[in-house]
Structure 1
């Protein structure tokens, strides 16, 4: 009897069983932990630069402001146990076609959105359709080819708050009430990226049910710090989305450390030109605690949504705290202002060691963001 290329019934059964087993393994495989890894040299240039993208806030356009070194552009984040693909602008736009993507929070939320807009511009350029408030605090862009909308909502506390002013040197936070600046639009928001934290370090008085709960760095009320307050604000924001929102993907970008070395207004406050090596710097103290609070609140929000039977609201943490810690070279520093040393090096100079140059390390946040949105849609 001649040999046959057709599988026997037993072989077909074994093949089907193997395919089923592999599918089950794949389905149950733990998701990639992008938080752990290291920065490695890269020869690939960023998707954009300071002249090809016009959505960058001038103070973060480091090359246009005269930063002389370029080495900080040529690093990529390599997770320890999985791969992080490069950003695919076309794939991202397909994911958010016919959707409204909103960044809600402080100036780091805006920093990340402006990075994202520059990265997607390689496939389709955004058009500014709305602007209100100074310093890019409220902006909206449209990408007509994909009917995609991108917005920034200035809300540094996420909850209702009154910012400090010349007349009052403290913030006021109402922890049980979401800020309606963004919450009023929840029915129209499909993807929300929250980013907050640094404003919670400032002097503030906290209210719960319009009664003073305590304060931070003040004299007339009980000192209660800011970790618990930050957690309550996140919980209020997440609960508000769960209770009011429709089918919404909610992603929290975790706290990113600043890198001031010495006084903020001295030359060299953040002058490093290469990343920290793995193990050279450890995430600890306030930076780690703020990260921990954020990650835990995301997990709690995920559980609450399931308990309420709301499977349309999905939560993820974009855990970038460690990868941000390792990039002291990625800040504007003195180049927050144009050509700060054109007239020589003075004794004092403003430094921004909190926000990120564009292009720069924050672009990697959006590489992970793309993968998280894929995960939420799977």
Structure 2
């Protein structure tokens, strides 16, 4: 500041008036006195102007830094979003290290399956817990859990899908439990233990009067017994033109999140004797991708007919890639850090089909296109740290982990739009 004032004074100082080679008169003339008065007045104005400039500079700096301070003191802030969160391609970004993660302790959350609690099952490295997804053109801002709990008050959140959906369901419950003081006020509605065998699981947050529910529907469409006069190899069918018979329970929810894909493979279908059916007609030669497209068409028609999208916000999460090293030998190599390249796992015909079907729907659906971002996380799978250590797992994810980020994205949509 002193150097600034010195520079200003030097640049605007007046030189005393004197004749060339002559000494200035000892008696100051009225004109000189006027110049001296003007010089002092100008000097004062310069000082005042410099102070004003300094105050303005400080103010601008404060305004520039204010969002950072705001974000530091408030977990959730929508000020960075121009318009809606959906205007940003949140799925185009990268994983960055962040020591504020993980968002919860799986051992302290009673709704995490033992098989997904990798640290509790002996995993020693913790690097996989400290990665945050950073979109290129926006941020997934940290939310206040209390805000989310209030947002869900008197509401019903429903997940529908396979075990990946159940993992995401568990993740959301654990995230929100960090904001609940009385942990016993959160409980499974039927007293059930979290397990893959049960088709319905519902956790109630009684202090806020809302539920987070999971319905196991791995194909979304109905599975039926072998039709009469079917070939011996047919043990069961997928009725591609009929949505799952438990679909009536999905109606009247406030948030509805679908996924499917992991079971649409020959090992879960043809090798078990399960083939496709439309109406009363068996489709023995129908390719899996064609059947998948037909089933999604049935799902889309059901949503358009049964779901009031003025009340219910509908999401569809795309295919989540696995990281098996060898599909034949089932080798699972869990890396210590995320991959730098997706190595083709960011491409999925299932995901492309979801995007195509949703694009042609008459009602608004938000696609959670998590395929690419998840393709890089070869470090975050269960691996050998499940409750069955002799059965490696490069499909499911450790908790805390990648499903937490999927939920952060959903919450960003719900809280900013």
Length-normalised TM-score, structure 1? 0.77
Task: Count residues in correspondence.
Answer: 318
Aligned residue among 205, 211, 233 for 2:281: 211
Aligned to 2:71: none
What is the CA distance between 1:171 and its match in structure 2? 5.3
Aligned to 1:311: none
What is the CA distance between 1:43 and its match in structure 2? 1.1
What is the CA distance between 1:332 and its match in structure 2? 0.7
What is the CA distance between 1:46 and its match in structure 2? 1.3
- The structure number with the bigger radius of gyration is 2
Q: Matches of 2:99 and 2:234 in 1, distance apart?
A: 47
- CA change 1:87–1:201 in 2 (3 A) is farther
> Can you list the C-alpha shifts for 1:305-360, whole angstroms capped at 9, x where unaligned?
3xxxxxxxx4100111011100011111111236x4xxxxxxxx311111110001
The answer to whether structure 1 residue 238 and structure 2 residue 300 are counterparts is yes
Aligned to 1:9: none
Checking the alignment, whether the CA contact within 8 Å between 2:101 and 2:132 is kept in structure 1 is no
> Can you list the C-alpha shifts for 1:349-378, whole angstroms capped at 9, x where unaligned?
311111110001221001101112235xx4
- CA change 1:150–1:30 in 2 (3 A) is closer
What is the CA distance between 1:210 and its match in structure 2? 2.3
Aligned to 2:392: 351
Aligned to 1:297: 357
Aligned residue among 339, 348, 366 for 1:316: 366
- CA change 1:162–1:275 in 2 (3 A) is farther
Q: Matches of 1:66 and 1:171 in 2, distance apart?
A: 40
Checking the alignment, whether the CA contact within 8 Å between 1:270 and 1:351 is kept in structure 2 is no
Checking the alignment, whether the CA contact within 8 Å between 1:263 and 1:269 is kept in structure 2 is no
Aligned residue among 96, 108, 129 for 2:189: 129
What is the CA distance between 1:94 and its match in structure 2? 2.3
Checking the alignment, whether the CA contact within 8 Å between 1:186 and 1:241 is kept in structure 2 is no
Aligned to 1:274: 337
What is the CA distance between 1:28 and its match in structure 2? 8.4
Checking the alignment, whether the CA contact within 8 Å between 2:250 and 2:256 is kept in structure 1 is no
The answer to whether structure 1 residue 173 and structure 2 residue 248 are counterparts is no
- CA change 1:191–1:163 in 2 (3 A) is farther
The answer to whether structure 1 residue 332 and structure 2 residue 382 are counterparts is yes
- CA change 1:264–1:114 in 2 (3 A) is farther
Aligned to 1:7: none
Aligned to 1:13: none
| Other structure's SS at 1:291 match | helix
Q: Matches of 2:134 and 2:225 in 1, distance apart?
A: 39
Checking the alignment, whether the CA contact within 8 Å between 1:190 and 1:249 is kept in structure 2 is yes
Aligned residue among 351, 354, 370 for 2:411: 370
The answer to whether structure 1 residue 192 and structure 2 residue 233 are counterparts is no
What is the CA distance between 1:228 and its match in structure 2? 2.5
- CA change 1:299–1:280 in 2 (3 A) is closer
The answer to whether structure 1 residue 97 and structure 2 residue 153 are counterparts is yes
Checking the alignment, whether the CA contact within 8 Å between 1:38 and 1:80 is kept in structure 2 is yes
What is the CA distance between 1:169 and its match in structure 2? 7.8
Aligned to 2:12: none
Checking the alignment, whether the CA contact within 8 Å between 1:275 and 1:329 is kept in structure 2 is yes
Q: Matches of 2:339 and 2:94 in 1, distance apart?
A: 9
Checking the alignment, whether the CA contact within 8 Å between 1:255 and 1:321 is kept in structure 2 is yes
| Other structure's SS at 1:102 match | strand
- CA change 1:171–1:33 in 2 (3 A) is farther
Q: Matches of 2:170 and 2:328 in 1, distance apart?
A: 25
- CA change 1:123–1:280 in 2 (3 A) is same
Checking the alignment, whether the CA contact within 8 Å between 1:62 and 1:335 is kept in structure 2 is yes
**Any unmatched runs of 5+ in structure 2?**
1-80, 227-231
The answer to whether structure 1 residue 47 and structure 2 residue 103 are counterparts is yes
Residues 59-98 of structure 1 mapped to structure 2, 5 A cutoff: 59-98=115-154
Length-normalised TM-score, structure 2? 0.70
What is the CA distance between 1:41 and its match in structure 2? 1.0
- What is the root-mean-square deviation of aligned Cα atoms in Å? 2.5
Q: Matches of 2:307 and 2:86 in 1, distance apart?
A: 28
Q: Matches of 2:234 and 2:398 in 1, distance apart?
A: 30
